[in-house]
Amino acid sequence: MATRQGVDANWDHGAPCFIARDSGFKQFLQPFLADQTLTEWHPKMTTLGLNQKSYKRTWFEPHYIGQPTMNQWLKTLFARHAVETQSEIQSIYGEPGKWYLASAERAHGPFDWVLCSTPLAQTQTLFARFNFDLSARYQPGFTLLCQTTLNPSWDRAVCQDAVVAELILSGRRPSRRHPSALVVHAQDQWASEHIDSDLAGVEQTLRGATEALLSATLDSAKLHRWRSAKVIEQAAHTHWLHPTLQLGACCDWGGTRGAESAFVSAKALATALVNNG
């Protein structure tokens, strides 16, 4: 769940929303829905395509978003704990009960346990020498963070287009302050084919395809590349725990329902940890 802060716009450029089908996740969300850190999103939806008549779409279950930005909910959650951000862990060394995490700047620790909640590629790197044996497949993606003065009748448009998958008027979501923010997500197949292409070319093509769909010029557009956007083939287990080494791992790779899978995976790891404790 990501929000990019610009000078005069904010974009929720990662997951636009999430659903809750797991009963534990539903229960976990209740206090945040009650205090409105989370809210239901009811966008006016449409389908757009070149030379095609647009038509309205509907959703059949609640879709949630954070307020006033997608990631504010998470910031509120970890304000209660000692959390250090902006520190990329490059390796783990030490022994059970005395683990150290090494970033470029310094070593963090010692820690009794290390629980890793990074996407699979990073967990595989960090836990390579501990026989971490899970694998999963992620869909990569491209997102364009744009500004526009257009004022269409829809808030979210699913596109019938080879390049653009959907357009979201991010600034029109509840509690957002910058109405000009538009988020554009690329089609999965097109993103897979271009994930290692020249980024300036990718940005230009995505911008051109968006402008063609809108029949208008965008005020600005900046590209973001996601190497591990959404899990399309989940790991064989929801989580990984090595009680002897005192290491564990969880993340959205435990399922294919994005944010909900991240929660379900973390809860499964926590339960296993308590049962092994």
Ligand X SMILES: Cc1cc2nc3c(=O)[nH]c(=O)nc-3n(C[C@H](O)[C@H](O)[C@H](O)COP(=O)(O)OP(=O)(O)OC[C@H]3O[C@@H](n4cnc5c(N)ncnc54)[C@H](O)[C@@H]3O)c2cc1C
Residues that bind ligand X (CB under 6 A): 1, 14-18, 88-89, 117-119, 122, 141, 143, 185, 226, 229-230, 251-252, 257-260, 262
- Closer by beta carbon to ligand X, 156 or else 176: 156
Q: CA angle, corner 10, sides to 9 and 15, nearest 5?
A: 150
Nearby residues of 228 by Cβ (< 8 Å), 6 or more positions away: 119, 120, 121, 138, 140
- Closer by beta carbon to ligand X, 52 or else 168: 168
Q: CB of residue 31 vs ligand X: minimum separation in angstroms?
A: 19
C-alpha pair distances (Å), 57 with each of 17, 123, 183, 210: 16, 38, 19, 20
Q: CB of residue 118 vs ligand X: minimum separation in angstroms?
A: 4
Q: CB of residue 244 vs ligand X: minimum separation in angstroms?
A: 24
Helix (H, G, I), strand (E, B) or coil at 267: helix
- Closer by beta carbon to ligand X, 188 or else 211: 188
- Closer by beta carbon to ligand X, 74 or else 245: 74
The DSSP secondary structure of 209-248, one letter per residue, reads HHHHHHTS--SEEEEEEEEEEEEEE--SSS-EEETTTTEE
| Residue with the shortest CB distance to ligand X | 258
- Closer by beta carbon to ligand X, 77 or else 216: 77
Residue pair 202/117 in contact by the 8 Å Cβ criterion: no
- Closer by beta carbon to ligand X, 259 or else 269: 259
CA distance 235 to 254: 6
Q: CB of residue 29 vs ligand X: minimum separation in angstroms?
A: 12
Q: CB of residue 247 vs ligand X: minimum separation in angstroms?
A: 15
Q: Tokens representing 72? A: 């504010």
Cα 139 to the center of its chain, rounded Å: 12
Q: CB of residue 115 vs ligand X: minimum separation in angstroms?
A: 12
